[in-house]
Structure 1
Amino acid sequence: MTQASNINALMRSLIWPIYIPAILTASAQTAILVLLPLYVLELGHSPAIAALVLGLRGLGQLMGDIPAGIAAGKLGDKACLMLGMAGYTLGYGLVAVSSDPILLGLGAMIAGCGMSFALIGRQAYVSARSASQERGRVMAMMAGAMRVGAFIGPLAGGLLASSAGYPVAFSVLVVVCLIALAVVAVCAEKGEPEPSHESHSISAIGAVLVEYRQEFLSAGVAMMALQFMRAARVALIPLAGSAMGLEVDTIGFVVAAGAAVDSLMFIPAGIIMDRWGRKAAAGPSLVLFATGIALLGWADSHAALLASAVLIGFANGLSSGLVMVLGADFAPEKGRSRFLGVWKLVADSGHAGAPMAISGLLGVASLLACSQVVAVCGMAGFWVMAKHMRETLVKHP
């Protein structure tokens, strides 16, 4: 069987257990990212509180990374996937019935934890079934599926919230996640847990950080910067739109437009990673992302906001699947799930830190200042990647 036939067969086998649930949960996840801060603002709270509530989702994601890696190792990748879908459902269910910022933040945190389980479960599932020279395209396709959901979610969520109200929109997201849970339960193959002698103790996790410190201090730091920008744009675009006085459905359209461009890039991103290397995708993505975030701070009209969102979407699309691919590349055969949990924890530190940083900055500075700080962090990540990260693509004849 040719290499093309192999990868096509592999991708077909992943449609129902991985790609379809990824579309469903990504649509719910990106809808909540747009709607939740706007809902908090509608309830009469400040932009800083809105960013803080959204930031608790990132904190939940951070808290879930190590337990998710342990769950994938001890229970298998399918069980980890199902726990992730259940976390999404429970978290969004709490958001749907709450109007108190504390409970909204708790729901966001639970959903963030569910996201960790879902992503690590997918990464472990795909890593176990793909080779290095296939992994860029397979992971990019998974990221592309998530980007299709990212296009649908804000658009549908914005229309639902403006026509039927926020609680109804949140309730629809719960149903979407329940469908994803059912699809995984029926279609995913049961993966083998790692051998019981594999240690998942705190000392073992510390040993991973020590053994792979070069990878974490180079690629890990660069991916922290990328995740920092990804999380920051989620808060900055809706807040910038709200500051201009744009309606929720218009803001949803702006986010969806950026997501549409983003979703067109996953195939080129996968080809770039598998043909020219991971760094060939990472470099342009980080630079263009930082540029788009910097321009976002200067946007003073609907058109300028839209242009910034589209540039950011293009840059993000260039890095489709990059964090997952690098994690799978660096992960050893023995203790893969444990490594992936630590890898995701390091990368998600940037994701969790962005909303908190923005919330703090908004208390003392402007939206413009916030965007420039984020852009500088992105360029710092590019420098670390270019100077210190080794190329992980392994080509076989």
Structure 2
Amino acid sequence: MSVADRADSVGARDVLWRFGPMVYLPTLLFALGEGAVIPLIPIIAAQLGAGVATAALVASALVVGQLSGNIPAGWAVARFGERRTMAAAGTISLAGVVGMVFAPGLAVFAVSVLLIGFCAAAFGLARHSFMATRVPLSFRARALSLLGGTFRLGMFVGPFAAAALLAVFGDERAAVWFFGVCLAATVVLVLVGPDPEERFAPAPPAAASAPLVRGDAETEDTGEVVTGSIPTLGRDGVLRTMWRHRGVLSRLGIAAASLSGVRSARQVVLPLWGVSIGLDAQTIALVVGVSGAIDFALFYASGQVMDRFGRLWAALPAMVLMGAGFLALAFTHDLPDAAMWFAMFAAVLGVGNGLSSGILLTLGADVAPPSDPAPFLGSWRTLTDAGGAASPLLVSAVAAVSSLSVATGVMGVVGLLGALAFVRWVPRFVPRHG
């Protein structure tokens, strides 16, 4: 029985519950450990002799590893399957943890961080590919929003776990060992738990996961939605997959990258803005924390909206809220009540970010070839990760030559342009369903 037929008989909640030990729990463990380590990477790098700029560069190795790992991960998932790729990524990440703990110098530590980022890309793509092929279209967005929410929960709780470990052991490397324990538990769970690839076989393309952009093996992706029967496709390589689907990647993919960029800019702009208007660290942390709490509270609502009304009904409000929030914030720096405006627009950005939870995962699953999604998703995730990595650099560059207010306004314009791109390309590549 396909997962679509099972969904009809047991309901969406029961099927999502069955994914818990296969997808959601490993995701939580991986994100919990990674969230504990990320804040401490620059600190450990500084202990190994790095200056401020070098420590920031070492911390960015995690993002560089993830960017460079997406496309190879697409090849690995297509060749070896989701379960083996997840287990291998977790095991290799353990080598990175050992390297971080026992690094004799900065170079070994940086390579270890890069390796963990590379493996995080493989782990994430394997989960994404599994959900894209096993979850029925009728509640795909809810399932993927829950996946995104699980990751956010781990990243939110991780720093608190690191703080507790520091209080007990007084050594930053205790958090790295904690990441290692999480990774070991993840690998065990993936290997000894029920095999998701056997328990939930991929649904037939014509049933549960009909592609929203189609084409046969000899047809290039021109960007138009093609109707008709769905052929059985052979597995294409990563580069050929990128070329065949260059239309959707260069259009909807760029819109998705703009969303990722605006999200990433929020994490950079809000703390800098608080410092710039003279707030103390405790107040800034409180405002950013409340914004994050609003963001986390809305993650499942985003999936509900996308499944019931269509993808655009979540993507457009999210981008408009974040774009307008950044743009309005840019004009409040020198106002008498700057702190009040900062808190208010931080909340607006939290609402917008919460409404965007799961959108990138869902759109990627929607437009991926159902017979072999992994190579396409590798390209899709590379685009979105590149958007997220580029926006802090853009904020830094504009602020350096002008001001933080101008940089914030630029990100607002990026958000509003991204909203227009979603209006233009989502209906073309992802016809309304829900």
Larger CA deviation: 35-44 vs 211-220: 35-44
Map of 1:185 onto structure 2: 191
Structure 1 stretch displaced more, 127-136 or 4-13 = 4-13
Q: Give the corresponding residue for 1:324.
A: 361
Give distance in 1, aligned partners of 2:117 and 2:110.
Answer: 10
The aligned residue for residue 62 of structure 1 is 67
Q: TM-score, normalised by structure 2?
A: 0.76
Shift of 1:359: 5.6
Match of 1:134 among 130, 139, 143: 139
Question: Which amino acid is the alignment partner of residue 18 of structure 1?
Answer: V
Shift of 1:382: 1.6
- Pairwise CA RMSD of aligned residues? 3.7
From 346, 353, 363, the equivalent of 2:383 is 346
Q: Output the CA distance in 1 between the equivalents of 2:274 and 2:422.
A: 32
Partner of 1:275: 308
Q: Which has the higher contact order (CA 8 A, sep 6+)?
A: 1
Structure 1-normalised TM-score? 0.82
Matches within 5 A, 1:151-190: 151-161=156-166, 164-189=170-195
Map 1:185-334 to 2 at 5 A.
185-189=191-195, 191=197, 198-200=235-237, 205-237=238-270, 256-293=289-326, 309-334=346-371
Distance 2:408 2:291 in 1: 17
Q: Measure, in 2, the Cα distance between the counterparts of 1:136 and 1:217.
A: 23
| Separation in structure 2 between the aligned mates of residue 73 and residue 12 of structure 1, nearest angstrom | 26
One-letter amino acid matched to 2:140: R
- SS of equivalent to 1:128: helix
Q: Matches of 1:234 and 1:87 in 2, distance apart?
A: 29
Secondary structure of 2:314's counterpart equals helix
Q: In 2, distance between residues paired with 1:36 and 1:254?
A: 24
Structure 1 residue 76, shift from structure 2 partner: 0.5
CA deviation digits over 1:33-92, x for unaligned, max 9?
A: 44435666787733x545433332222111111111111111011112223323544444
Where in structure 1 are there 5+ consecutive unaligned residues? none
Q: Secondary structure at the match of 2:11?
A: helix
**1:293-351 residue CA offsets vs partner (Å, 9 max, x unmatched):** 55777679987766555443322221111111111111112332221112212222212
The whole-number CA distance in structure 1 between the counterparts of 2:253 and 2:260 is 10
How far the C-alpha of 1:235 sits from its partner, in A, is 4.2
- Which is higher, the Rg of structure 1 or of structure 2? 2
Structure-1 separation of matches of 2:354 and 2:9: 23
Q: Which stretch of the first structure deviates more once superposed, 300-309 or 102-111?
A: 300-309
Q: Which amino acid aligns with 1:215?
A: V
Pick one of 371, 381, 391 that aligns with 2:418.
Answer: 381
The residue type equivalent to 1:107 in the other structure is S
SS class of match (2:25): helix
1:149 partner amino acid:
G
Answer yes or no: is the 8 Å Cα contact 1:88–1:114 preserved in 2: yes
Q: Specify whether residues 302 and 347 from structure 1 end up closer, same or farther in structure 2 by C-alpha distance, changes over 3 A only.
A: same
- Corresponding position: 1:76 with 2:74: no
Q: 1:2 to 1:387 in 2, by over 3 A?
A: closer
Identity %: 26
